[in-house]
Amino acid sequence: METGQKRASSFRRAWSYARPYRWTIAAGFVCMAIVAVAGLVPPLVIGRVIDDLGAGRFGRTGTYVLMLLGLFAAEGLFSGIRNRLMHVAGEWFVLRIRSDAYRSVQRLSLSYFEQNTTGDIMSRLSGDVDAIEDMLVHGTDDILVNAIRFVGITGMLIYLDWRIALAVALPAPFIALGLFTFAKRIRKTYRLVRDQLGDLNAKLQDNITGIRVIKGFAAEGREFELFEGKSRDYANRRIHLIRLWTVFYPVMEFLGGLGFIAVIWVGSRLIQSGEFSAGDLVATFAYVMQFYGPIHTFSRINETIQRALAAADRVFELMDAQPDVVDREGAHELDRVRGKVEFRNVGFRYASGGEVLRDVSFVAESGECVALVGRSGAGKTSVINLIPRFYDPIEGQVLVDDIDVRDLVSASLRRNVAMVLQDTFLFNGTVRENIAYARPGASDAEIESAARIANAHEFIEGLENGYDTEIGERGVKLSGGQKQRLSIARAVLADPRILILDEATSSVDTESELLIHEALEKLIRGRTTFIIAHRLSTVQKADKIIVLEEGRIVEEGNHQSLLAKGGAYARMCEMQFALAEVERDYAAVST
């Protein structure tokens, strides 16, 4: 019952997206109704032609020909109009529902994307939305037109002879019962098929994105086997569907054949008794052929609708997913930002794990540079993710300019925060577009100025088309250092009051690192800056260094004071100094 209510709700909700085009759809329905009615007349006309010819009456043949010509022309004309109206309405319908679904995706918190695969989300936004369109364009109006045909043909058969109509109708209840039973059984299977398609797309997306890693480890064979396994699971599920259909359809065809046999039996008896003409029998055969057509079409439509409802469930599940981070009622814009950031007794855990921050408290005054150091997993990245409110703490407060970030409009907070990360993300577009992403209305002069500050202008000018060079997906045509400098230029153009640098120089060569350090020194001037770096030489100039261990702050101070304490930070420095000595010795031996 619950599943049925959910499907009914999904159906009504999907149709709500078509409401703005209801008059267009209604016009399409009218056109299809005309096509359906026009298709009812030709068998009767052909029967009359046969009777007239058999009786030697040739005078009305021309009239019948013109009548048939008009009927076929009407069918073609209104069918064409219907196709245009319904397909255009379908495209606008898809635009609306896909746009709303994407808007819903954008408002979701990062935790949702950690728990759901990119490929499955893409599958819901593309294939599942298209399946819903099939229901609108090819499903509902087909139900109407075939209902008209079914009623019309039944009326024509009764008009010809009620006994013929009864003979034809005998298998109909069994066919209807078969449809109902089959629909009930197949619903769950369609949902499993849609889910497996999402898993398959997720694997495909992972493999395409990670193709360099796959090739680097010569793992093509292993990945092919995994992908083929998921493809085989999907194919097996589809084959199960095919088996269901290949059992169902022959049974329906057999039942329809029984009706045809009944017509031959009854019709022959009526002709023998003189109650039926040869023309009437031909017309009856034509109507019988059409009578079961709508029933079989209902089977196909049912498949389309069941597939669409399974897809609609998945799309609306996505749209109904609630973000973990939402603006409070009455939240206000963050204006005239000074840049002070404070953590007060903050505790935090991710949805899928244990507590990662415990009782974290510190203050970064406006314009200060604060470094976060510690082992991997100590909680450094979790700290910086709370500043732009990608997540909310489970206890305590994060404040910007003495205001709890939960009392601020998230978008206004994030407009004042820029991040330069280790894993630089660039969009598939031009250099200019990627820098201007921070401020789309920026002038060419402002973009170039940002690139100069980021030490990127020189290499950009050396590219084939300068600032208009296409850099490929994720900036694949650029080196690691070049991508990082474009990321810095983007942050420069954003002109944030709060800056976050997460391992911004860890994945580049020495020359690029020097250029990036120069760029970062220009960028952090006058801004509240948070730096995460494993190389402690990077953080020595920080105003404040915070040492984290297992989610707690164990030390806080500047470089000199922490060295003097001889605690965790001093030990980390000693270990890195020893490692640097080993690297120098190794370099000397190698040369």
CATH number of the structural domain spanning residue 168: 1.20.1560.10
Q: For residues 290 and 43, is the Cβ–Cβ distance under 8 A? A: yes
203 domain-assigned:
yes
Which of 453, 472, 495 is where one domain is finished?
Answer: 495
Collapsing DSSP to helix, strand or coil, 296 comes out as helix
Ranking 148-162, 280-294, 431-445, 537-551 by mean pLDDT, the lowest is 280-294
135 domain-assigned:
yes
SS in 3 state form for 511-536? HHHHHHHHHHHHHHCCCEEEEECCCH
3 domain-assigned:
no
Please tell me whether residues 158 and 230 are part of one structural domain.
yes
Label residue 313 by pLDDT band (50, 70, 90): confident
Q: Over the stretch 244-266, which tens digit does the pLDDT of each residue have?
A: 777 777 777 777 777 777 777 87
Which of 474, 495, 516 is where one domain is finished?
Answer: 495
Q: For residues 551 and 379, is the Cβ–Cβ distance under 8 A? A: yes
What's this model's pTM, rounded to 2 decimal places?
A: 0.68
What kind and span of H or E run contains 12?
helix 2-16
Please tell me whether residues 125 and 263 are part of one structural domain.
yes
Mean pLDDT of 366-389: 88
65 domain-assigned:
yes
Please tell me whether residues 527 and 560 are part of one structural domain.
yes
Please tell me whether residues 77 and 226 are part of one structural domain.
yes
**Closest C-alpha to 546, from 387, 404, 364:** 364
Please tell me whether residues 357 and 445 are part of one structural domain.
no
Does the pLDDT at position 519 exceed 80?
no
265 domain-assigned:
yes
Does the pLDDT at position 112 exceed 50?
yes
Please tell me whether residues 373 and 445 are part of one structural domain.
no
423 domain-assigned:
no
Put the strands of the sheet holding 417-421 in their side by side order: 417-421, 498-502, 528-532, 369-373, 544-549, 552-557
Which of 495, 521, 546 is where one domain is finished?
Answer: 495
- Residues comprising the chain, all counted: 591
User: What is the sign, positive or negative, of the torsion defined by CA atoms of 26, 31, 34, 39?
Assistant: negative
Residues in contact with 268: Cβ distance below 8 Å, sequence separation at least 6, in sequence order:
none
531 domain-assigned:
yes
Q: Over the stretch 538-565, which tens digit does the pLDDT of each residue have?
A: 788 888 999 998 889 998 998 888 888 8
What residues are paired with 348 via a beta bridge? 357
Mean pLDDT of 14-43: 82
Q: If you count DSSP H runs as helices and E runs as strands, how many of each does the chain have, helices first?
A: 21, 10
Please tell me whether residues 104 and 207 are part of one structural domain.
yes
Please tell me whether residues 86 and 185 are part of one structural domain.
yes
Mean pLDDT of 324-348: 87
Does the pLDDT at position 495 exceed 60?
yes
Q: How many Cα atoms sit within 13 Å of 232 on the Cβ side? A: 6
Collapsing DSSP to helix, strand or coil, 507 comes out as coil
Query: 401 φ, ψ to 5°?
Result: 55, 45
Give me the pLDDT at residue 360, please.
Answer: 92
Could you give the number of structural domains in the chain? 3
Residues in contact with 45: Cβ distance below 8 Å, sequence separation at least 6, in sequence order:
64, 67, 68, 71
Query: 436 φ, ψ to 5°?
Result: -75, -5
Q: How many CB atoms lie within 10 A of CB 420?
A: 26
- At 357, which CATH number? 3.40.50.300
Please tell me whether residues 306 and 406 are part of one structural domain.
no
501 domain-assigned:
yes
Q: Which has more pLDDT, 371 or 140?
A: 371
Collapsing DSSP to helix, strand or coil, 477 comes out as coil
For helices 162-169 and 141-160, the axis angle rounded to 10 degrees is: 140
Q: Judging by DSSP bridges, how do beta strands 341-349 and 369-373 pair with one another?
A: unpaired
Amino acid identity at 38? A
Rounded CA-CA distance 392/409 in Å is 14
Please tell me whether residues 489 and 358 are part of one structural domain.
no
For the chain, the distance separating the N- and C-terminal CA atoms, rounded to the nearest angstrom, is: 77
Please tell me whether residues 62 and 140 are part of one structural domain.
yes
Q: For residues 516 and 488, is the Cβ–Cβ distance under 8 A? A: yes
Does the pLDDT at position 5 exceed 60?
no
Mean pLDDT of 421-435: 81
Rounded CA-CA distance 411/389 in Å is 10
Q: How many Cα atoms sit within 13 Å of 572 on the Cβ side? A: 25
Does the pLDDT at position 270 exceed 80?
no
SS in 3 state form for 370-426? EEEECCCCCCHHHHHHHCCCCCCCCEEEEEECCEEHHHECHHHHHCCEEEEECCCCC
Please tell me whether residues 209 and 170 are part of one structural domain.
yes
Q: Over the stretch 463-476, which tens digit does the pLDDT of each residue have?
A: 888 888 888 777 77
What kind and span of H or E run contains 369?
strand 369-373
Quote the domain boundaries for residue 380: 341-416+496-590
Rounded CA-CA distance 457/510 in Å is 19
If you average pLDDT over every residue of the chain, what do you get? 79
